[in-house]
Structure 1
Amino acid sequence: MNPILDKLQSNILVGDGAMGTILFSEGLDTCPEAYNLTHPSKIEAIHRSYIEAGADVIQTNTYGANFEKLKSFGLEHKVKQIHQAAVKIAKRAANEETIILGTVGGFRGVTQEELNLSTILYHTELQIDTLIESGVDALLFETYYDLEELTEVVKSARQKSDIPIIAQLTASNTNYLRDSSEINEALKQVVQSGANVVGLNCHHGPHHMQQSFSHIELPKGAYLSCYPNASMLDIENTEIRYSDNAEYFGKKAKKLINEGVRLIGGCCGTTPDHVRYIKEAVKDLSPVTRKNVIPIKKHQNKHQADTQKDNLTSLVKKRPTIIVELDTPKHLDTNKFFENVEKLDQLDVDAITLADNSLATVRISNIAAASIIKQNYKLEPLVHIACRDKNLIGLQSHLLGLSLLGINEILTITGDPARIGNLPGASNVYDVNSKGLTEMAIRFNQGINTDGAELKKHTNFNIAGAFDPNVRKIEGAVKRAEQKIQSGTHYFITQPVYHKDKIKEIYEATKHLDTPFFIGIMPITSYNNALFLHNEVPGITLSEEVLNQFEAVKDDKAKTRELSLRLSKDLIDTVHEYFNGLYLITPFQRVDFSIDLAQYSKNITSFKQEALS
């Protein structure tokens, strides 16, 4: 046996956290692995900080130290030296009890064409050999999106040595890999390939990792590991950031242990504070030897329902106006989606907004859905257009097609980077950002193409812009809004707001603008949803009072719903004190929330208008 396998028989082991995130936050302008040669004391200090925080297990700073990745930095000839240096640094930082894992990262993201499997194995073999020769206690294969790649790498390593192997997949979906394999079944294959410990790391924060592990069986002849990200990734002014949620992370660690995890650490965005809270949370826990596994619900394909008819103009400068966001499905069963559209249509809300693969997650084309809505309902579709997925050619074609369909309400957005979504290896285009796309649409309204040619007719786009009030300084958001107005933006819709004071702050910060704002309200559906929003969605915070209120009713669905509606209505009251525009964001297709809140908004605004008249 080996120290790590001996200990895992009857103990929970705590791993370390992110290395690259810390280095990038301090201004790293090369690959993190280069620091093994140029800044060894810095790497040693980070290792030591994790050990002091309670990490039983640390990993070498070699995640991206393969030939192909180092080639981007002109370091491909130093693969072996970087690995040797990494192990030496880890050993200097370690104490007698510390277990050192030699880390190897995956090659394949979503695209597989660039490197065939034999090339990957060739490059990985040098990493494995060097790490074993340098004296690591075990190998860690992490952030593998491709099941075939991981199983073949594990087999190759096992043929070379009986060293313990920890092998971790990375899943974009909580239940499936990108090749549609169920995670539970995939991990069984990794065990069969020769891994001693299997699990998941990266992409998801602890909330979604817990969801994944609720469907994962305890493996036979192996143990489970989990290294979640700190939270969802956010980018503010090109700066990557994660939620500061170490205490919450520790609480979630307990739940992961209850799902059978025996080795738990952190991935992107985690710090020694996260490890400290994990250590405290699990110190008195014993490994789970039995668990109830929740089966994954299978999707059933159904025929699309018949639909009905449509129309809208922007009225927000004239009267209180309601728009509702409803995501298109991730699958082809559209029955529920169009049933919800019909309910909103019967309520006479003014528009339905359709996101464009928000959070870089694949959904049915919002243009296709908008076209059906336009033909069959009174509702006006407001279509989001993300710059991420289309080059200049595609964007122009997209706009022309929308105009041809008679869809004139659009929201221009830059779009979340592909790496945060369910296909993180997909390419980001970004030929223009939201400002550039707005300028393009304005030119089309003038009957001019981006290359100066005449369109022979002009479009009639009414252009919305996104406004995020949940930033550190709202002045920066207002400045960006002013720039968007100069580019041609006609009105704004905001990210969800959860504090009445924030609504007042938006008003005070934007009242000098003659541009309408729709204030976003998204109901909280459960205590876990409240925790997730508070801890894992950057920029959003909930008060302790609100969190306590949801915790008090967490086991009563009716009371939870009642509380959510009451809090949302309280926010809507404040919205209508200062703004005509209300933007209801439907949570998890729970259109009943949006219907109740839209009806409430209509009632109070009608009452106020009657009182004034």
Structure 2
Amino acid sequence: MSFKQQLKEGLIVGDGAMGTLLYQRGSQSCFEELNLSDPEQITSVHQEYIAAGADVIQTNTYAANSIKLDRYNLGAYVKEINEAAVAAAKQAGDVYVAATIGGVATMHQEKTPLEERVASLKEQTDVLLETDVDGFLLETFYDFEELKQILIYLRERTDKAIIAQATLGDIGVLHTGMHLQEALELLENLGADVAGINCRMGPYHMLQSLEEISLLSHATISVYPNASLPNVRDGRFSYQSNPTYFGDMTKGLVEEGATLIGGCCGTTPDHIREIKKAIKEHQLKPVKEKRTRRPVKSDVIRPEEPFFPKLTEIKDEMSVIVELDPPKALSGVPEFMKGAKALTEAGVNAVTLADNSLASSRIDNLALGSKIKDEGARPLLHIACRDRNIIGLQSHLLGMHELGVRDILAITGDPAKVGDFPGATSVYDMSSMDLIRLIKQLNEGQSFSGKDLGANTNFTVGAAFNANARRLEREVQRLEKKIEAGADYFMSQPVYSSERIEEIAEATKHLSVPVYIGIMPLVSSRNAEFLHHEVPGIKLTDEVREQMREVAGDREASEKVGIDMAKQLVDTAMIHFSTIYLITPFLRYNITETLTKHIREHEKTIAGTRG
């Protein structure tokens, strides 16, 4: 009987993990390379699974695509590694052999463009299509679009059986929020003979997910759970040794529609043996109908309207935001609060608080943002990806929402090694682009994992703009990508040249979102030299630096020159933009207070000259 026919007619037992088993046995490098250097070990693992009762084994090719092999300088050996894997599997015994193709993207937002990932998978697919396998198994695809494209490509080129398995973000949903039922039906319609799920979850959560779906019209359903949630000890991953439990869960998985059951990360031949044993002992057969337990969808709670209009919707006036850095010491909080109040009274639309800028530890900006909000100021918080993993970022954002803080600047953040805690590590689970997408996903009421939050957040999100980039046109192209990701506005690095402001105006005039031009008054010659030489993204003209040198050592004169230069830049910016971002130096808010008042006094006159 052909593998394709067998998949339609009875229960089939798959094999278990290859990579984690090899890892537990001491392999530390590229598991797929062993197809060439130690094929006997790979064949031996296959034989262990066959002896345990597997009806179908999958080739050791999960990560045998050029992108993943390149990590080991093996990208040029795609053909040899995949062909050797098939040979090792065929050598193992008289069972069905499925050629495995694994997803490239992870749950993190993938940096490699989709078209490059798909091209790499197509290259691997072309090699496997030339081998004598019984079918194909697509597994561990976090990016559903990646899975769809390779399924379409494969279906157009073969009549052999195709098993297409997505990976869940949470119970019953993909990472994008797509419900499992919709995903499986799409895979069925694209030509999958078997549609299912694998990896990330153990049998308990996968059973819960299957309880939420109906049987498919033509395709059957597969499930390959992990052995358990992973544990980490001394830097090594491990899984609970629970083969008997795995066998106990088999009956429930079959009753919820699974006809192909195997194992993913952490599973061993013992797990497969228990699956086979449970099928025989309970005389399990594929179910023809089932009752579906649909999750109760919570009514989407629309948040109350923010007490300020969105920054992007401010009309009939200049929109001015002023940065006031949280202090490093507790003794600085009273002065900070006075500054936020003075700036608000001067007419700023929002007070923006950096998130440990230059990787220097400061008082938490959410705590201070909440305090100034209670005093009538509008906080706009920077969020750096450096200090929080994905869990922390989402938790932080939801906490902001509950406190009524709705304006965000998403930034990647300066690396920890540049700050005052050089032993600290940077997290960088996400980039600023990823964070923008996450915030927009929360605005749709979906967790990062795809799960329903029960309410929509209501954030506006800004993105950083390096206005001093040497090639401005390339930086503007990055802004366009950030708009695609969901950026509502941009906040630029400080600019110290009227000519540069005019160049920016010309380069960004086609953008569909506002650009807040950054202006940071200088307070001394040393301050000017530090910014010019040591702060990434800031460059001062020789003329500006010379003006500050002429008053070096005189605090009052330096401040006056700095304010006068800033006023000139503000006047130029107001001709071309209706959005200005003032940056307060060293908590000297009297300076940005003066500039804010200058803007408010002259905005109607200068606005009349704006093109």
Q: TM-score, normalised by structure 1?
A: 0.51
Pairing partner for 2:166 from 169, 173, 180: 169
Q: Partner of 1:84 in structure 2? A: 83
- After superposition, the Cα gap between the structure-2 partners of 1:371 and 1:240, relative to the gap in structure 1 and judged at 3 Å, is same
Give the AA of the match of 2:176: D
Residue identity in the other structure for 1:285: L
Residue equivalent to 1:501 = none
Q: Distance in 2 between matches of 1:83 and 1:298?
A: 44
Pairs aligned (count): 342
Give the aligned residue type for 1:92.
Q
Match of 1:153 in 2: 150
Counterpart of 1:290 in structure 2 is 289
Deviation at 1:371, TM superposition (A): 6.6
Q: 1:153 to 1:358 in 2, by over 3 A?
A: closer
Report the CA distance shift for 1:358/1:242 in structure 2 as closer, same or farther (over 3 A): farther
1:553-607 deviations in Å (ceiling 9; x for gaps): xxxxxxxxxxxxxxxxxxxxxxxxxxxxxxxxxxxxxxxxxxxxxxxxxxxxxxx
In the alignment, does 2:113 pair up with 1:120? Answer: no
In 2, the alpha carbon distance for the partners of 1:57 and 1:153 equals: 22
Is the Cα–Cα contact under 8 Å of residues 176 and 449 in structure 2 kept in the other structure?
Answer: no
Residues 1:417 and 1:51: Cα distance change in structure 2 (over 3 Å): farther
- 1:522-601 to structure 2, matched below 5 A, reads none
Q: Does the Cα contact within 8 Å between 2:417 and 2:425 map onto a contact in 1?
A: no
Spell out the pairing of 1:287-436 with structure 2 (5 A cutoff).
287-302=286-301, 362-363=394-395, 365=397, 368=400
Quote the residue 1:229 is aligned against.
226
Aligned to 1:49: 48
Cα distance change, pair 415–25 in 1 and its aligned pair in 2 (3 A)? farther
Return closer, same or farther for 1:18/1:125 CA change in 2, 3 Å cut-off.
same
**Equivalent in the alignment of 1:323:** none
Deviations 1:296-346 (A, max 9, x none): 3222233679xxxxxxxxxxxxxxxxxxxxxxxxxxxxxxxxxxxxxxxxx
- 8 A contact 1:360–1:417 mirrored in 2: no
1:248 is aligned to 245
Q: What is the DSSP-based 3-state SS (H/G/I as helix, E as strand, rest coil) of the residue aligned with 1:44? A: helix
Contact 1:103–1:139, Cα closer than 8 Å, also in 2: yes
Gap runs ≥5 in structure 2: 305-387, 405-411, 431-446, 451-611
Query: Distance between the aligned counterparts of 1:369 and 1:67, measured in 2?
Result: 42
Q: Is the 8 A contact 2:175 2:449 kept in 1?
A: no
> Is contact 2:67-2:117 (8 Å) kept?
no
- Paired with 1:215 and 1:243, the residues of 2 have a C-alpha distance of 26
1:268-287 equivalent positions in 2, closer than 5 A = 268-283=265-280, 284-287=283-286
In 2, the alpha carbon distance for the partners of 1:293 and 1:26 equals 41
- Aligned mates of 1:177, 1:395 — CA distance in 2: 38
Question: What is the SS of the residue equivalent to 1:104?
Answer: strand
Distance 1:226 1:127 in 2: 24
Residues of 1 paired with 2:256 and 2:120: CA distance? Answer: 35
- Which residue of 1 is the match for residue 96 of structure 2? 99
Letter in 1 for 2:22: L
Q: Structure 2 residue aligned with 1:238, among 235, 241, 249? A: 235
Please state how far the C-alpha of 1:17 moved relative to its aligned partner.
0.4
Q: 1:424 to 1:70 in 2, by over 3 A?
A: farther
Among 187, 191, 213, the alignment partner of 2:188 is 191
CA–CA distance in 2 between the matches of 1:94 and 1:366?
53
For residues 109 and 121 of structure 1, do their structure 2 counterparts lie closer, same or farther at Cα, with a shift above 3 Å needed? same
Q: How far does residue 186 in structure 1 lie from its aligned partner after superposition?
A: 1.1
Aligned residue type for 1:274: H
Q: Does 1:214 align with 2:215?
A: no
CA distance in 2, matches of 1:100, 1:157: 17
Displacement of 1:78 in angstroms is 0.6
Structure 2 CA distance for aligned equivalents of residues 201 and 395 of structure 1: 41
Looking at structure 1, the residues matched to 26 and 392 of structure 2 have their Cα atoms a distance apart, in angstroms, of: 27
Distance change >3 Å, CA 393–CA 130, structure 1 → 2: closer
Deviation for aligned residue 1:390:
8.3
* CA-to-aligned-CA distance 1:224-276 (integer Å, 9 cap, x gap): 00000000111112110111111001111111111000000000000001001
Secondary structure of 1:126's aligned partner: helix
**Match of 1:254, as an amino acid?**
K
Residue type of the partner of 1:280? Answer: K
Which amino acid counterpart does residue 208 of structure 1 have in structure 2?
H
1:63 equivalenced with 2:87 (yes/no): no
Deviation at 1:5, TM superposition (A): 2.5
Which has the greater radius of gyration? 2
* Residue aligned with 1:200, SS: strand
SS of equivalent to 1:160: coil
Equivalent in the alignment of 1:558: none
Instruction: Report the counterpart of residue 14 of structure 1 in structure 2.
Output: 13
The Cα offsets for residues 340-399 of structure 1, whole Å up to 9 and x where unpaired, read as xxxxxxxxxxxxxxxx98977944547548979xxxxxxxxxxxxxxxx987659999x9
Instruction: Summarize deviations over 1:417-452 as a string: whole Å, max 9, x none.
Output: 99xxx8699xxxxxxxxxxxxxxxxxxxxxxxxxxx
Instruction: Measure, in 2, the Cα distance between the counterparts of 1:31 and 1:424.
Output: 28
In structure 2, relative to structure 1, the CA distance for the partners of 1:282 and 1:113 (3 Å cut) is closer
**Conservation of the 8 A alpha-carbon contact between 2:63 and 2:101:** yes
Aligned residue number for residue 264 of structure 1:
261
- CA 1:111–1:22: 2 relative to 1, 3 Å: closer
Q: Percent identity?
A: 38
Name the SS for the 1:134 alignment partner. coil
3-state SS of 1:292 partner: coil
Separation in structure 2 between the aligned mates of residue 370 and residue 300 of structure 1, nearest angstrom: 18
Contact 2:416 2:426 in 1 (8 A): no
Rounded to whole Å, the distance in 2 between the matches of 1:223 and 1:155 is 18
- Shift of residue 131, structure 1, vs aligned partner: 1.6
**AA partner of residue 259 (structure 1):** E
The corresponding residue for 1:460 is: none
User: CA–CA distance in 2 between the matches of 1:391 and 1:259?
Assistant: 49
Secondary structure in structure 1 of the residue aligned to 2:156: helix
Q: For structure 1, which runs of at least 5 residues remain unmatched after alignment?
A: 306-355, 373-388, 400-411, 426-613
| Secondary structure, counterpart of 2:87 in structure 1 | helix
SS in 2 for 1:172: strand
Give the alignment's Cα RMSD to 1 decimal.
Answer: 3.3
4+ aligned runs moved over 6 Å, structure 1? 356-361, 369-372, 389-392, 394-397, 412-418
Distance 1:196 1:150, change over 3 A: same
Amino acid at match of 2:28: D
- Rounded to whole Å, the distance in 1 between the matches of 2:133 and 2:120 is 19
Task: For 1:265 and 1:119, locate their aligned partners in 2 and report how far apart those are by CA, in whole Å.
Answer: 30
Normalized against structure 2, the TM-score is what? 0.52
Q: Flag the 1:392–1:114 CA change in 2: closer, same or farther, 3 A.
A: closer
Preserved contact between residue 106 and residue 142 of structure 1 (Cα < 8 Å): yes
SS of match in other structure, 1:72? helix
Q: State the AA in 1 paired with 2:258.
A: V
